[in-house]
Amino acid sequence: MSQVGVTSPVASVENTDAIRRVVVSASIGTMIDWYDFFIFGTAAALFFPKLFFPSFDPLVGTLLSLGTFSVAFIARPFGAVVFGHLGDKLGRKDILVINLLIMGVGTALIGLLPVYETVGVLAPIMLLALRFVQGIGLGGEYGGAMSLVAEHSPPARRGYYGGWVEMACPAGLALSSGTILLLAAIMPEQDLLAWGWRIPFLLSVFLIVIGMVIRLKVDETPTFTQAKKPVHKSPVWVLFRDNLGQTLKGGAIWLAVNICFYIAAVFVISYSRNVLSLSYEHAVIGVAGASLVAIPACVWAGHLSDVYGRKTVGILGSLSMMACAYPAFWLIDSGSLSLVFLGTSLILVATFIVAGIIPAFFSEMFETRVRYSGVSISIALGTLLGGGAAPSIATASLIWTDGKSWGVSLMILLSGIIGLISFLLVNRTYPVHPEDEA
């Protein structure tokens, strides 16, 4: 074991082209999965209240709609356990291909669903079921992509390359938001609600084909193939037996990231539209623009973690979350598009300073034979407790505070505190490459 900090280089010749091919494959495939995931969140904020919950008060309908968004976070731990187990026993590559396919099929079927006006209560039930399928797919995807890149990367650049994987998250958000924005610009609202909302979901079919072609060309990681045999019969059991503390700490860090991220990515769209009375276009532009600003923050943070250490950057990112909590919503509450963009950017940049180091940091928290499970389950725990609930809790806080946003800012502040404490508690890492393992 080694103390958390700067990872020293291994004396080996690295194939830069091969590493870049792996990073591109993991990043594009993960970006497509995030597109699928976030297109639902945007639709849940803008369209689904009227399409699937039309008989409720608008704010209550929005709360119910965002509740369907949360269902995927209940499903993600199941995907993390199942695919983490398979990924640690069978390898990273093939399981990632399966995850991509599950996400694509689930998303495309959502685009074919009948709405409440057509089939009544059956419509939201089917929506919930397909959202659960999306959660299963992403539950196994993210940790696998992180493990794949970490095990291919040279130690001295692991943070940098991992930052590119994390960049897929805001890139997927930008792609999904941009798709909705384009449709809103060329279609009247009536057509969007009638049939235009289906287009982004059906586009997933073409994106998945592209992702599958790229991902199938990637080799299995040498770390997995060279790791000591035999693999654990039950990697998840070994993970909880030997690394429960690590898993809970990782889950707490990801909880902090997710609360902040989903407030910015999903809640702000709903808040801008329903409380600030911005147009569809302006509600989406603020978040889409902020997600583009967050993209370089991921890679930058990953690079800094190679130089100064993972914990140092994680602690600074957590402090940034705390610092931006109230100023961000002071800006957003102005109702000005430029200030909504600026306030959302503050939240997302602070969030991705932390998230940008996670692929490397989490991969180093677990040894090879339980890495896929450890990373996936840590992420799933954080998303279950934070990501899925955050937009709904933030919306509920508006009801409790009579439309005031101070409760949402308090959620961001507490997230930063959780992240700070969790980083301080992590005190060990494991080698990632087999030649380093004892």
Task: Give residue-wise pLDDT tens across range 152-174.
Answer: 788 888 999 999 989 888 998 88
CATH says 17-215+225-430 is which class?
mainly alpha
DSSP 429: B
Torsion over CA: 36, 42, 43, 44 (sign): positive
Task: Please compute the mean of the pLDDT values over residues 62-75 and round it to a whole number.
Answer: 77
Q: What pLDDT is recorded for position 334?
A: 92
DSSP 9: P
Position 37 confidence tier, pLDDT thresholds 50, 70, 90: confident
- What one-letter code names the amino acid at 135? G
* H-helix or E-strand spanning residue 14: none
What would the pLDDT profile of 275-309 be if each residue is shown by its tens digit? 888 887 888 888 889 999 999 999 999 999 999 99
Position 419 confidence tier, pLDDT thresholds 50, 70, 90: very high
Q: Helix (H, G, I), strand (E, B), or coil: what is residue 217?
A: coil
d(CA 58, CA 135): 26
Q: What pLDDT is recorded for position 8?
A: 40
Position 59 confidence tier, pLDDT thresholds 50, 70, 90: low
- What one-letter code names the amino acid at 33? D
Position 99 confidence tier, pLDDT thresholds 50, 70, 90: confident
Residues ≥6 apart with Cβ < 8 Å to 198: 111, 112
Q: 380 burial class (0-12, 13-18, 19+ CB within 10 angstroms)?
A: buried
208 CB neighbour count, 10 Å cutoff: 23
| Lowest mean pLDDT segment, chosen from 84-88, 345-349, 417-421 | 84-88
Task: Please compute the mean of the pLDDT values over residues 232-248 and round it to a whole number.
Answer: 84
pLDDT of 105 higher than 80: yes
pLDDT of 1 higher than 60: no
d(CA 131, CA 111): 12
Q: 125 burial class (0-12, 13-18, 19+ CB within 10 angstroms)?
A: exposed
Q: What pLDDT is recorded for position 32?
A: 83
pLDDT of 103 higher than 80: yes
pLDDT of 9 higher than 60: no
pLDDT of 417 higher than 90: yes
Q: What pLDDT is recorded for position 301?
A: 96
DSSP 93: H
pLDDT of 432 higher than 80: no
pLDDT of 4 higher than 60: no
- Using an 8 Å Cβ cutoff, are 244 and 237 in contact? no
Q: What pLDDT is recorded for position 12?
A: 37
Domain extents for the chain? 17-215+225-430
Work out the mean pLDDT of the chain and round it to a whole number: 83
